[in-house]
Amino acid sequence: MGVMFLVAKAGCPMTDVMNDKDSQREEKLKLLLLDDMNKKEQEVKPMLSIQLTQFECGGEVICVFFNHKLSDMYSVTHFMRDWASIARSFTHGDLPVVNPQFNGATCFPPELEVSDNPSGRQDTSGTNERVEVPLSFSKFCSKRLVFEGSKIAALKAMVSEKAENPTRVQLIAALIYKAVLSAKSSVTGCVEGATQLHLMINLRQRVESPLPRLIGNIISRYIASETTWEQRDKEVWDIVGGMKKSLKEFCQKFPRDYKNKEWGRLYKLHAKQSTERLRNNGDVAVISCSSWCRFPVYDVDFGWGKAVWVTVPEFPAKDLILLMDTKDGEGIEAMVSLEEKAMEAFQQNQEFFSFCELKK
């Protein structure tokens, strides 16, 4: 399928979906999505789906759904920016120059070996083995958290004494990871096992010849933290230090692997070796974190002014953290998705919630 575009009208003001005190807000946000996007059993989905919702007050919401097999957040952001520039040109003239690059397959050749994995569960072992454990998404739930810039600054001041110059994303990812570890261990009560934190990374600026306009799903992941059961109480600065070390190693190695067109195979080998090493401590759980921070989503302007809020609705997923900027660019909004019992324990962590606010 190609592109689906739908215009909808809402019989209420836009403030009804902006009110973070409304316990039904997340359900209202889901109404801004195309119905087909909520059907996981749908075999064929459009490459791109857009719903424009017009409210009684004159406000408008644009919901964009991209197929992640074809594009990443970098691609989505640049698509939105170029689309908005073209839309403004009809009023102001001077059609903008739009020059996206679609030659990703020549830069990052697809692998010939395709994994047959119908279960919906991601194989992180690097072996392409089929995983037969089915996931029931009804057992997972997600919560929206907001970290104000002042709280992040205070956390950075505390951590910087033992971890040199941590970024906002590293701080918040480490803080959430630590809280998730605590929640999961309190629920399972296991005395062995290990956990990996995987962080997504945009490869465009990591290669020897940067590819700033390349459109596609040009991302990879690196293992930012490895935690055995005995290490489950490690401090935030220890996690941040491990993140920085892992990122440095990845960035030192990746350009060479990319040049030799061996990056995919070597990354899988690295993931497999790391996982097998941790399996000596029992089962390995993977927590994935993706950051949309610093993508200029709040700069998109169709001619009506810039957005007052850019977000995603709640989504059921297994052990997933999604980070994005707040409008002021200083804070971070996080969506955390866990199993229901782990989420209940997660929400009881008073120390963690001294740094953030849980939104309805």
pLDDT (tens digit per residue) in 303-330:
889 999 999 888 878 899 999 999 999 9
Percent of the chain at pLDDT above 90? 41
Q: Which three-class secondary structure state does DSSP give residue 260? A: coil
Contact criterion met (CB below 8 Å) for 249 and 266: no
Closest by CA to 149, choosing from 358, 11, 355, is 355
- Per-domain boundaries in the chain: 3-67, 138-359
What is the predicted pLDDT for the residue at 123?
Answer: 42
Distance CA 360, CA 121 (A): 28
Exposure letters 34-47 (e unless 16+ CB within 10 A, then b) = beebeeeeeeebbe
Identify the band that residue 256 occupies on the pLDDT scale cut at 50, 70 and 90.
low
CA angle, residues 300, 301, 307, in degrees to nearest 5: 75
Please report which residue ranges of 160-235 form alpha helices under DSSP H: 168-188
Backbone phi, psi, residue 29, to 5°: -60, -35
Lowest mean pLDDT among 20-24, 119-123, 197-201, 251-255: 119-123
Which residue in the block uniquely carries the two structure tokens 């399928």? Answer: 1
Contact criterion met (CB below 8 Å) for 3 and 45: no
What is the predicted pLDDT for the residue at 184?
Answer: 87
| In 260-319, beta strands by DSSP E | 284-291
Please report which residue ranges of the chain form alpha helices under DSSP H: 15-18, 25-30, 73-92, 104-107, 149-159, 168-188, 236-259, 263-278, 340-346, 350-353
Q: What's the CATH superfamily of 138-359?
A: Chloramphenicol acetyltransferase-like domain (3.30.559.10)
- Per the model's pLDDT, the better-predicted residue between 225 and 210 turns out to be 225
The 8 Å CB, 24+ separation contacts for 74-79 are 74/202, 74/204, 74/218, 74/219, 74/295, 75/215, 75/216, 75/217, 75/218, 77/295, 77/296, 77/297, 77/300, 78/213, 78/215, 79/215
Contact criterion met (CB below 8 Å) for 238 and 92: no
pLDDT, mean over the chain: 81
DSSP conformational letter for 110:
P
pLDDT in tens, 74-128: 999 999 999 998 888 877 667 677 778 887 777 766 665 444 443 334 443 333 3
Q: Check the CA dihedral 338-341-342-343 and report its sign.
A: positive
Lowest mean pLDDT among 52-61, 182-191, 286-295: 182-191
Computed on alpha carbons and rounded to an integer, the radius of gyration of the chain in Å comes to 21
Which residue in the block uniquely carries the two structure tokens 């009023």? Answer: 91
What is the predicted pLDDT for the residue at 128?
Answer: 39
CA distances in angstroms from 41 to 26, 36, 45, 68, 123, listed in the order given: 22, 10, 10, 16, 20
pLDDT in tens, 29-42: 888 887 655 555 55
- The model's pTM: 0.84
Is the predicted pLDDT of residue 353 greater than 90, yes or no?
yes
- Average pLDDT (242-264) is 76
pLDDT in tens, 147-184: 999 999 999 999 988 888 899 999 999 999 999 999 98
Distance CA 89, CA 79 (A): 15
- Per the model's pLDDT, the better-predicted residue between 21 and 326 turns out to be 326
What is the predicted pLDDT for the residue at 153?
Answer: 96
Residue type, 134: P
- Average pLDDT (318-347) is 95
What is the predicted pLDDT for the residue at 120?
Answer: 39
Contact criterion met (CB below 8 Å) for 232 and 262: no
Exposure letters 102-138 (e unless 16+ CB within 10 A, then b) = eebeebbeeeeeeeeeeeeeeebbbeeeebeeeeeee
